Chains A and B, each alone.
Chain A
Amino acid sequence: MSQPAHARINVDLLRPLLRTSWRFYFLVAALGSIVLTALVSWLSQAFFGFGVTGIRWPVYWGFYVTNFVFWIGISHAGTLISAILRLVDAGWRRPVTRCAEVITVFALMIGAMFPIIHLGRPWLAFWLFPYPSERLIWPNFRSPLVWDFFAINTYLTGSVLFLVLPMIPDFAVVRDKATGVRKTIYTYLACGWRGTPRQWHRLETAMQIMAIGIVPVAVSVHTIVSFDFSMAPVPMWQSTIFGPYFVVGAIFSGIAGLLIAMAVLRKVLHLQDYLHPVHFQNLGKLLLVMALLWGYFVFNERLVTYYGNGPSEMAVFWRTQRESFAPMYWTMVICNFVLPLVLMGIRYFRTITGCVIASLGVVVGMWLERFLIIVPSLGHKYLPYSYGIYRPQPVEIIIAIATFAAMMLLYVLFAKLVPIISIWELKAGRASASLAEAVGEGGDARPVARGEANL
């Protein structure tokens, strides 16, 4: 790849970092005010008590756990997809990986807040941690909630490192291009990166190892989140299919989140030269596959329950299919199955706009799916004394909306501080493509060897 091409990539991808328009400040202020409103709501909940929410016996899990499962699911967009594409060496992954990995980290952070938001006394959250309590009350390792603690923290640590390590060479580029205080900050962030063959080799080896490690961890995280449900004696929860069902749903919603983020970045940061329609089409095909898998799991779950014909299970079954929760259920089916099947299955609609519409549908559908797993079952358990209804209160609705604002805010700030497309990976990809092109044209692209051209 030529030197001007290098310079152009640098200029294009560093522009959002080095120039700031009024739109950035406006967006940060708008999103920040929504997040601040949610913070005030949460503080009021902590002050006045859990009675301000709609969560009460027997529906102990409402919007908060819905959001928890939803955001942990969205987090499967990045690291898992990026790791798989890295392992299979898919060349088209290069502009996509960082956009995806960022979603993982921020979605996990938002999701991991909900067990704390869901506590009546959040200042005692540390009771969940495995520490030597002076009262000898150790965490119970046989509780799925403690498994969550380990799984989410492992995934979060791995994902943060998986995101940060390939950022170091890009920090070095910013260091070389920036001036003043910015240069000082990026000099520290670049950790003395120079780009020696040894450093490149170590970085790529580390990324390979982490990619291998992070795939089973990602699968385990959502399987363990599903155990929060399937380990409990609640109608339609005790199912061996919940693990893979949750994992598939998580990847499904994750891809949808990624497609939306990519489309917005492409438009706002003028990245048309880097995020091509083919990237959307490829991810759109993945979305289609996941929609089919999701449909398969829902069919399985429903059919087995229907044939089991347990009275409590069937009560929940009919509540969702033709009684009070039916409008939400059928909206979910349309959003998660019909819409992606039509838009992604027919080539004509598999455009960037088509991908965004299908993805927005999937995000809504997957949120509804989480809600429909939790609330109808908890409100209609095995005995009549444990029947109840759930009405979300303003504090829960504000916090739920604010999570989306928080996600956007974090994403905007990240794109302002770090190149949202990995510069070095993009350059490496283009260099490989040029080399392959030269070989195709019969040019001299053979590797240069030791001792060659010594004289």
Chain B
Amino acid sequence: MKAVYGLYEDRQAAQQAVNRLRAAGVNDRDITVMSSQPMEDVEFGHMGGKTWMWWIACGGGLLGMATAFGLAWLTETSWPINVGGLPTFAWWPNLIIIFELTMLGAILATVVTLVVSARLGRSSTIYDPAVSDGLILVGVEETSDARVRELQDALGAVRGEIKVVA
């Protein structure tokens, strides 16, 4: 596996590089862009922007709610204690437990979704520490030498530093 990438100083140049890769027939999902901060004001900053995270968080919340209800109901009916004449399964105090575990479920579901969908913990052929200094990396992982040269030309048409990873 070979990879070719360019390092660009500003977001306009990076956007041009992305557009040139597209013009060279590279799909969006094969283009790698890296930056040291979110780039919401440019088009490439929205690549891969669709997510089910909100819905999954809601699902996690519902799961937490069901767990809290089950826990409270099971434990209270297993060992019924008379507390100040309250019913064995008293809704008012149990709502507190239900609320807390609902929120905990939503928070944990959000974090799990982030880890999975942001592909944290996975290695990549392309990376350059210069990204931390503010440069924007635009690149592609490719197998054939001829194609790498072609992409090198496409990226090189925009002012920036071009690198090939063997």
Contacts and interface: CB of A to CB of B under 8 A. Distances in A.
Interface string B89-126: 01001101101110110111011011101111111100
A140 B20 CA distance: 65
B107 A157 contact: yes
Contacts of B42: 447-448
Given A139-B75, A177-B132, A448-B11, A154 B20 contact: no
B152 interface: no
A106 B129 CA distance: 32
Contacts of A153: 104
Interface in B54-111: 54, 57, 71-72, 75-76, 78-79, 81, 83-84, 86, 90, 93-94, 96-97, 99-101, 103-104, 106-108, 110-111
B48 interface: yes
Given A140-B81, A154-B104, A206-B114, A173 B49 contact: no
B31 to A, nearest CB: 10
A454 B43 CA distance: 13
Nearest to A158: B107
Contact of A450 (B11, B43, B129): B43
Q: Is the interface of A mostly helix, strand, loop or mixed?
A: helix
A197 B49 contact: yes
Contacts of A3: 9, 133-135
Given A7-B133, A137-B79, A191-B120, A220 B99 contact: yes
Contacts of A51: none
Contacts of A6: 36, 132-134
A23 interface: no
Contacts of B71: 130
B43 A194 contact: no
Contact of B37 (A7, A151, A428, A453): A428
Contacts of A220: 96, 99-100
Interface stretch (A209-217, A289-297, A311-319): A209-217
Q: Is the interface of B mostly helix, strand, loop or mixed?
A: helix
Interface string A32-46: 000000000000000
A197 B117 contact: no
B78 A138 contact: yes
A151 B129 CA distance: 41
A431 B108 CA distance: 31
A197 B45 CA distance: 5
A92 interface: no
A141 B16 contact: no
B51 interface: yes
Contacts of A431: 37
B120 A453 contact: no
Contacts of A448: 11-12, 15-16, 42-43
Contact of B97 (A138, A147, A177, A206): A147
A193 B119 CA distance: 9
B18 to A, nearest CB: 8
A146 B83 CA distance: 14
A155 to B, nearest CB: 9
A204 interface: yes
B38 A204 contact: yes
A236 interface: no
A165 B111 contact: yes
Contacts of A199: 118-120
Contacts of A177: 129, 132
A187 to B, nearest CB: 11
B36 A7 contact: no
A11 B85 CA distance: 64
Nearest to B122: A192
Interface string B32-55: 111111110111111111010110
B23 interface: yes
Nearest to A448: B15
Interface string A208-234: 011001101100100010000000000
Given A172-B132, A448-B42, A193 B120 contact: yes
Contacts of A1: 134
Contacts of A427: 36-37, 134
A355 B38 CA distance: 33
A202 interface: yes
B108 to A, nearest CB: 8
Contacts of A308: none
Residue in A204, A214, A448 with the greatest tally of chain B CB atoms within 10 Å: A448
A195 B131 contact: yes
7 contacts: A173-B36, A195-B36, A198-B48, A209-B57, A209-B110, A213-B110, A220-B100
Closest 10 CB pairs of A and B: A6-B134, A198-B48, A176-B129, A448-B15, A202-B118, A176-B132, A200-B38, A138-B75, A150-B100, A206-B114
